[in-house]
Structure 1
Amino acid sequence: MDFSKYDYLEKKSSAVPGTNKYGKHYQIIVFATKGKRPKVFNKLRIDPPLLVTEKYKRENGMYVTDVWDDIRELTSGYFAGEEPLRLPDGERLHKQQSPIQLLLRIILSSSKPGDFIFDPFAGTGTTNIVSRQLRRNSISVEKDELYYNYCMQRLMEFRDVDRIDRFKMDYKYTKELDKIWGSPVNIKGFNLPKYTLFEKNIYYRKKHTK
């Protein structure tokens, strides 16, 4: 089975040096599509803020490149906002929770409505949350029971902060955006079976001990 791999770089907003090395300014994002070459690659266009060296507004935005410096990671300091899942004491549940915007871009660029998205490390279930709203089918695997329980709760109790429609205008210059995005999903019926192919689309893999 062949897979085409793509490496994307997400620019961090801050980086703390280690004991004897520089802090990482970039985070490598790896995802793959089945086959020797991707069957789907949507050329997304965004309209980020102008740089100090730019004087005129872009008429049609710009293509997304392999450096995504317009997406802020949720693990940067105390500025993560309301999106991260939190424990009862206020601490973040998962130190590497991926932002909605990141999975939105990956799924938009590499799939179409009705496709299957597989995440072998579900974490907090962001892949499933985004896939459902884009009318993609998704399967995820998570071995940690605590993360699994929070994933299921997140899917059953949809939060406004997890909505992706607030980011749609970021891609307004993308050709055939409505076709790539898929028809609107009724958030009130978000958890009904007709919006997902599987009764449970996150599977908990228990650890076996001798």
Structure 2
Amino acid sequence: MVEQFKDRSHTIYHGDALEILTKEINSESVDLIFIDPPYNIGKQFSNFYDKWESEQDYIKWAYQWLNECIRVLKPNGTLYVMTSTQAMPYFDIYLREKIVILSRIIWHYDSSGVQATKYYGSLYEPILHCVKDKNNYIFNSDDIKVEAKTGAQRKLIDYRKSIPTQYNTEKVPGNVWYFPRVRYRMKEYENHPSQKPESLIERIILASSNEGYSVLDPFAGTFTVAAIAKKLGRSSISIESQKEYLKIGLRRVLGWQEYQGEKLVSVPKNNTRSHKISQKLDIIQGNLFNGDSTA
């Protein structure tokens, strides 16, 4: 059964992503799609267990919704898709035959402290940046510029030019992005096992859409994509199968305060921490950002 909730600019579907993509979304109707699907790595998402019987079963399922996303994307639209490091080669090879892959992005982050001891643990997730037409798509480079350390901090001079000039203080990010993972104490935290940072989503929406454009998220989860789309003046379409997460979307995107007699409130967070812990975290975060390869 498919349920729909909406206001003037934002639509939420409650149901199966593949079914809703196939039956509810018109062809060539969406400007930007961000896809953060289940990774097939055994996480529990409310009543859904993220594990297929085989890798091939997972890939077969993924190809179906990838095809549907390509169908609903406008001719000048942009698609971003994430998955596990293990599955991304399948996605990459499949998509390069159907769409243009402009960039292969690495989102890297810090460890929570527990890390592999018998091999090199994973500290990144891959993202494909794709378009239908390599000569006609949106990329607002000025809206996503970051600090260029060579010019802004080191103040080096480029003597190769006819008139020696200081290096630029800003630049467009490369394809390796550092954004901290969402942790419990963070203001944006929602009760979900794989929430993506608002800052990562904001970069994508700013870069690949304009105000008034439509953004589709087929696996909405914490509804961060729709929430940031709303903040930036875009419309959104979200799909979510789990009622527990649907309620997050009703609150974050549509502004509902109650659903079926239940008060909709964000997760309470204790933001109090000792002075010593604050100092230590500030040092760690400072070191991480100083080593940010996007700057």
The aligned length equals 144
Structure-to-structure mapping, 1:49-198, within 5 angstroms: 50=149, 55-56=154-155, 60-69=169-178, 71-75=179-183, 80-85=185-190, 93-155=191-253, 156=255
> What is the CA–CA distance in structure 1 between the aligned matches of 2:105 and 2:208, rounded to whole Å?
12
SS in 1 for 2:244: helix
CA RMSD in angstroms comes to 2.8
Answer with 1 or 2: which has the greater Rg. 2
Task: Structure 2: give runs of 5+ residues left out of the alignment.
Answer: 1-70, 72-97, 157-166, 258-264, 266-295
Q: What is the aligned-residue identity percentage? A: 27
Which has a greater percent of helix?
Answer: 2
After superposition, the C-alpha distances for 1:96-137 in whole angstroms (9 at most, x for unaligned) are: 111110110011111111211111110001001110111111
Deviation of 1:32 (Å):
4.2
> What is the CA–CA distance in structure 2 between the aligned matches of 1:144 and 1:27, rounded to whole Å?
24
Following TM superposition, the consecutive aligned residue runs of length 4 or more in structure 1 with deviations greater than 4 angstroms are none
Q: When the two structures are superposed, what TM-score results if normalisation uses the length of structure 2?
A: 0.43
Deviation of 1:19 (Å):
6.5
Deviation of 1:42 (Å):
1.7
SS in 1 for 2:200: helix
Structure-to-structure mapping, 1:6-85, within 5 angstroms: 6-14=103-111, 16-18=114-116, 20-33=118-131, 35-37=132-134, 39-43=137-141, 44-47=144-147, 50=149, 55-56=154-155, 60-69=169-178, 71-75=179-183, 80-85=185-190
Which has a greater percent of strand?
Answer: 2
Q: When the two structures are superposed, what TM-score results if normalisation uses the length of structure 1?
A: 0.59
Partner of 2:80: none
Partner of 1:186: none
Deviation of 1:56 (Å):
2.9
Deviation of 1:7 (Å):
3.1
> What is the CA–CA distance in structure 1 between the aligned matches of 2:110 and 2:121, rounded to whole Å?
11
After superposition, the C-alpha distances for 1:38-83 in whole angstroms (9 at most, x for unaligned) are: 51012231127x48xx6338753122111112x21115xx6x5221
Task: Structure 1: give runs of 5+ residues left out of the alignment.
Answer: 86-92, 160-210
Q: Which has the higher contact order (CA 8 A, sep 6+)?
A: 2
Going from structure 1 to structure 2, the CA distance change for 1:30 and 1:59 (only over 3 Å counts) comes to closer
> What is the CA–CA distance in structure 1 between the aligned matches of 2:129 and 2:154, rounded to whole Å?
36
Which amino acid is 2:212 matched to?
G
Which amino acid is 1:109 matched to?
A
Partner of 1:173: none
